[in-house]
Amino acid sequence: MKKYEFTGETKEIRLLFRTATLHRIRATVAFGIVEVGDLGGWIEKEENLSHEGKAWVCGNAEVCGNAKVWGNAEVWGNAKVCGNAEVWGNAKVWGNAKVWGNAKVCGNAEVWGNAKVCGNAEVWGNAKVWGNAEVWGNAKVFSASHVLVIGAIGSRNDFTTFYRDKDNEITVKCGCFLGKIDRFLEKVTQTHGDSKYALVYRAAVEVAKLQIDLSGEAPKDADEE
């Protein structure tokens, strides 16, 4: 039995290479905290939100493309899940958070605020990605101690995100820069020399090395959550 239906209300959103038509959904059965008749959020097609489990999309949240939300996952607020992204398990994505690309958010992970998770990033376990954090590329985050956001710093007064990657090393996302922490230090020297900005970035690197836990292995692969 289907747990939701399209209300007939639609809206168009502009994606990178196309325009997508999203449909407002409405619950047809009660599950979890959802009652029959409750309005949900917006999805492009039924493949975006499973009819099984307690997974739900509500508020102004949008799920489109080949993205999938299932299990007991919840997506709400102004959150956006698109591309080939997947959100499942007991994961929660809300606020203005964005999950896209081939990103995976699962387990008990939470992504909120203005956070962005994209590329091939994997966020699961008890991880929390929030605020202005940007977790990209080959991130492998499964604990709250695997992500550190520092800011606003630098010449642009922007936020810099440090996180554990799949090589069990630290990757940095800072403005247009995305790469390993040692390469980030090289870039800082090339760009800022020994200025105040360079000193602040180097101090942030030392904090990240102390804070981000690179010990231990993941409890299980994200695909097995």
Helix (H, G, I), strand (E, B) or coil at 48: helix
> With bands split at pLDDT 50, 70 and 90, how would you rate the model's confidence at 16?
confident
pLDDT 10s digits, 189-223 = 999 999 999 999 999 999 999 999 998 665 554 44
Grouping H, G, I as helix, E, B as strand and the rest as coil, residue 112 is coil
Q: Is the pLDDT of residue 225 over 60?
A: no
pLDDT given for residue 15 in this prediction: 86
Q: Is the pLDDT of residue 64 over 50?
A: yes
The two tokens of residue 54 are: 């307690």
Q: What integer pLDDT is reported at residue 220 of this predicted model?
A: 55
Quick: pLDDT tens for 137-186: 999 999 989 999 999 999 889 999 999 999 999 999 999 999 999 999 99
Nearest to 105 by CA among 65, 78, 141, 63: 141
CA 47 to chain CA centroid, Å, is 20
Rounded to the nearest 10°, the torsion over CA 65, 71, 76, 82 is -20
- CA 160 to chain centroid, in Å, comes to 16
Q: What is the mean pLDDT of residues 70-82?
A: 97
Query: Average pLDDT, stretch 60-71?
Result: 97
Q: Is 0.85 surpassed by the pTM of this model?
A: yes
Exposure string for 148-176, b = 16+ CB within 10 A, e = fewer: bbbbebbeeeebbbbbbbeeeebbbbbee
Mean pLDDT over 23-32 rounds to 96
